[in-house]
């Protein structure tokens, strides 16, 4: 994907929201007479980010963690599942099946790239009833949803751990201050780490982790609806329903 296509595919609202959120925090800091440089503390960042990452890694299985990391990009570039294209594709298949029989769809199986759609079409070509197709594909949908919901909760958990890790960073910073009371030149750095760690913890949770978790949940629900639409379309073809009726029914999922 080239740069132009990447930019076009990105969720503009997510980018805009992050920019507005960060700008609001930084602008408020400057209006209060503070310096932006004080907000950039490497030690505080390592404590909060490293601690949060470690906590979520302890919490979840490897597969869920890896899937959660991969899903993070969904907040910026949503997976391509073109509902309108799928409605047209399923309608075309229903027309072909009505004219030439379901076996005529056998030539279309190899050209389907989506694994779920390809599996459903193969089940249809193999002569399975609508109920059997629903039974098999429902298991796949359930498995797909379970893994993605668990992965979305990893981001949600990070939003819960982050403020607490920020407090740990604050305590560590204050410990550093207490150890250097005799040297006033070192007090400023310790106090900065203490308060900035708390800011990082709360900011990461409320500007990044929790919003991404909620956006991922929305995307999962939309994708699950698309998969349900595919199943309904395949069942309609298996039952020999009128192509126009199938099209009208499937359009209800995307309108």
Contact 24, 34 (CB under 8 A): no
pTM over 0.95, yes/no: no
Distances (CA, A) of 86 to 101, 139, 251: 20, 21, 10
The alpha carbons of the chain give a radius of gyration, in whole angstroms, of 26
Per-residue model confidence as pLDDT tens for the chain (255 residues): 455 554 445 678 888 888 898 888 888 878 877 777 777 888 888 999 999 999 999 999 999 999 999 999 998 887 777 788 899 999 999 999 999 999 999 999 988 988 999 999 999 999 999 999 999 999 999 999 999 999 999 999 999 999 999 999 888 878 877 777 766 666 666 676 678 889 999 999 999 999 999 999 999 999 999 999 999 999 999 999 999 999 999 999 886
- Residue 60 CA to its chain's centroid (Å): 17
DSSP structure class, residue 40: -
| Phi, psi torsion values for 122, nearest 5 degrees | -65, -40
- Domain borders along the chain are 1-40, 41-254
């Amino acid at each position: 994907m080239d740069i132009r296509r990447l930019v076009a595919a990105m969720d503009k609202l997510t980018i805009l929201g992050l920019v507005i959120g960060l700008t609001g925090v930084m602008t408020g800091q400057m209006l209060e007479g503070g310096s932006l440089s004080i907000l950039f503390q490497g030690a505080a960042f390592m404590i909060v980010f490293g601690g949060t990452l470690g906590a979520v890694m302890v919490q979840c299985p490897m597969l869920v963690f890896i899937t959660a990391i991969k899903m993070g990009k969904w907040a910026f570039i949503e997976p391509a599942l073109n509902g309108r294209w799928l409605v047209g594709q399923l309608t075309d298949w229903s027309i072909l099946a009505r004219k030439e029989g379901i076996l005529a769809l056998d030539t279309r199986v190899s050209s389907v790239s989506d694994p779920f759609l390809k599996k459903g079409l193969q089940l249809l070509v193999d002569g399975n009833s609508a109920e059997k197709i629903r039974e098999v594909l429902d298991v796949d949908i359930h498995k797909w949803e379970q893994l993605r919901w668990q992965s979305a909760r990893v981001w949600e958990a990070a939003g819960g751990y982050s403020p607490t890790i920020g407090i740990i960073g604050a305590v560590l910073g204050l410990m550093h201050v207490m150890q250097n009371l005799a040297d006033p030149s070192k007090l400023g750095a310790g106090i900065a780490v203490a308060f900035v760690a708390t800011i990082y913890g709360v900011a990461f949770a409320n500007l990044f982790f929790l919003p991404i978790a909620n956006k991922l949940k929305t995307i999962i629900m939309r994708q699950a609806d698309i998969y349900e639409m595919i199943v309904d379309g395949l069942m309609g073809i298996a039952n020999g329903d009128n192509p126009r009726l199938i099209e009208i029914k499937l359009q209800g999922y995307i309108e």
